[in-house]
Amino acid sequence: MNSIPRTIFEEEHDIFRDAVRRFCEEEIIPYHAQWEKEGQISREAWLKAGAMGFLCSSMPEEYGGAGADRRYSIILMEELARAGASGPGFSLHSEIVAPYILRYGSEEQKRKYLPKMAKGETIGAIAMTEPGTGSDLQGVKTTAIKDGNEYLINGSKTFITNGQMSDLVILVAKTDPSAGAKGTSLILVETGTDGYRKGKKLEKLGLKAQDTSELFFDDVRVPQTQLLGEEGQGFIYLMQELAWERLQVSIGAVANIEAVVDWTIDYTKERKAFGQTIMDFQNTKFKLAEAKTQAVVARTFVDKSIDLMLKGELDAETSAMGKWWTTDLQNKVIDECLQLFGGYGYMWEYPIARAYADARVQRIYAGTNEIMKDIISRKL
């Protein structure tokens, strides 16, 4: 039952969705439990996703992408979220890291990195957060100081998605530590560069198959040609991409809410107590009626936001509204649905238990929900 039909996709997107769904069923879901134990997904999964054209699909063909509109990337995000497959950091790689290189990179940087990223041979990460600063990005302490033809980099980063597996990181550093936000620049650092070390794979409450790491930079030297865009513009570049990045979180949240509601309907129709199904209890019906309503309302807002984003009209405030509201809702709906599973809902082998653990961080990363409200309130 979908009372408000989706209108943002065309027929070719539906065909693509079928292929992505098959890919998730064959190449992701069967391995996910093992990846959770290993704390990261396999290289093969990246290469297979690349071979299928699922990575960097919105990059132009000349840089190895499919030149497709962002709806194809959105389908991949939705299908992974629907499957509860939180391990692959594909969307961060394809729709956050690669677009920075496309938008601000030199021709040489684009040719060097983007085709390999589209194939899954080079895995990308972005390192903003530091042990001492997350929400307040102006407080970044990592420095990249000009020294001859090079930058000399010192500092550390934490909570970096794809950190352990990444071959390339966009590093947020101060090239002029005295200039605050205006002294912030983005620098491309390759794994294997002397002095660049990866720390622990961090143990987390959820997202067990997603690699999240510390990164250390001790007297790392990179040529000045590794600067992304212009010096001192890093903060502005980061701000410009945020609406799309936050919308991606909302897209995952809503797809996950829809899946959770479906799982719960199926379960409660099967499970019996007191001579009837769990669904037969009025409490269950009302809880699921509420959850379904919330899913439809959230979906309508997010699809409209996607529509605006595709037209280049999604502003920071609307994107922030979607991010906090859908992720808060995701946590609420999962909690209510988990209750209807009884003890089984608490068992890791049940997707609802994983969804519960995975969803918590949605309110924290990509800008905390408090920061979202701050952004919205500035325009009131």
Ligand X SMILES: Cc1cc2nc3c(=O)[nH]c(=O)nc-3n(C[C@H](O)[C@H](O)[C@H](O)COP(=O)(O)OP(=O)(O)OC[C@H]3O[C@@H](n4cnc5c(N)ncnc54)[C@H](O)[C@@H]3O)c2cc1C
Rounded least distance, CB 245 to ligand X, Å: 10
Q: So which residues are the catalytic ones?
A: 245
Distance separating alpha carbons of residues 315 and 307, to the nearest angstrom: 12
Is the sign of the CA dihedral 88, 111, 155, 167 positive or negative?
A: positive
For 174, the enclosing helix (H) or strand (E) is strand 168-174
263 is a site residue for ligand X (CB under 6 A): no
Cα→Cα distances 116→25, 46, 175, 217, Å: 25, 11, 28, 24
Distance separating alpha carbons of residues 115 and 122, to the nearest angstrom: 9
Which of 67, 374, 377, 378 contacts ligand X by CB under 6 A? 374
x-or-dash string of contact with ligand X, 118-147, rule CB under 6 A: --------xxxx----xx------------
Residue 139 or 342 having the CB closest to ligand X: 139
| Total interface residues for ligand X by CB under 6 A | 20
86 is a site residue for ligand X (CB under 6 A): no
Count of alpha carbons within 13 angstroms of residue 207, beta-carbon side: 20
361 is a site residue for ligand X (CB under 6 A): yes
Rounded least distance, CB 132 to ligand X, Å: 8
Which of 10, 370, 377, 378 contacts ligand X by CB under 6 A? 370
Burial of 227 (C-beta count, 10 Å sphere; 0-12/13-18/19+): buried
59 is a site residue for ligand X (CB under 6 A): no
Residue 38 or 336 having the CB closest to ligand X: 38
Tokens standing for residue 77: 């995000």
Rounded least distance, CB 5 to ligand X, Å: 34
Distance separating alpha carbons of residues 103 and 368, to the nearest angstrom: 26
Residue 185 or 212 having the CB closest to ligand X: 212
For residue 78, which amino acid is it?
A: E
Tokens standing for residue 157: 């980063």
Rounded least distance, CB 161 to ligand X, Å: 3
For residue 151, which amino acid is it?
A: Y
Residue nearest to ligand X (CB): 134
Of 4-12, 57-65, 234-242, 365-373, the window that binds ligand X (rule: CB under 6 A) is: 365-373
- Contacts of residues 62-69 at CB distance under 8 Å and 24 or more positions apart, as own/partner, are 63/102, 63/110, 63/111, 63/114, 63/115, 63/118, 64/114, 64/115, 64/116, 64/117, 64/118, 64/119, 65/98, 65/114, 65/118, 69/310
Residue 158 or 268 having the CB closest to ligand X: 158
For 300, the enclosing helix (H) or strand (E) is helix 282-310
Of 69-77, 226-234, 275-283, 370-378, the window that binds ligand X (rule: CB under 6 A) is: 370-378
x-or-dash string of contact with ligand X, 201-230, rule CB under 6 A: ---x--x----x------------------
Q: Can you give the binding site for ligand X, defined by CB under 6 A? A: 126-129, 134-135, 159-161, 204, 207, 212, 361, 364-365, 367-368, 370-371, 374
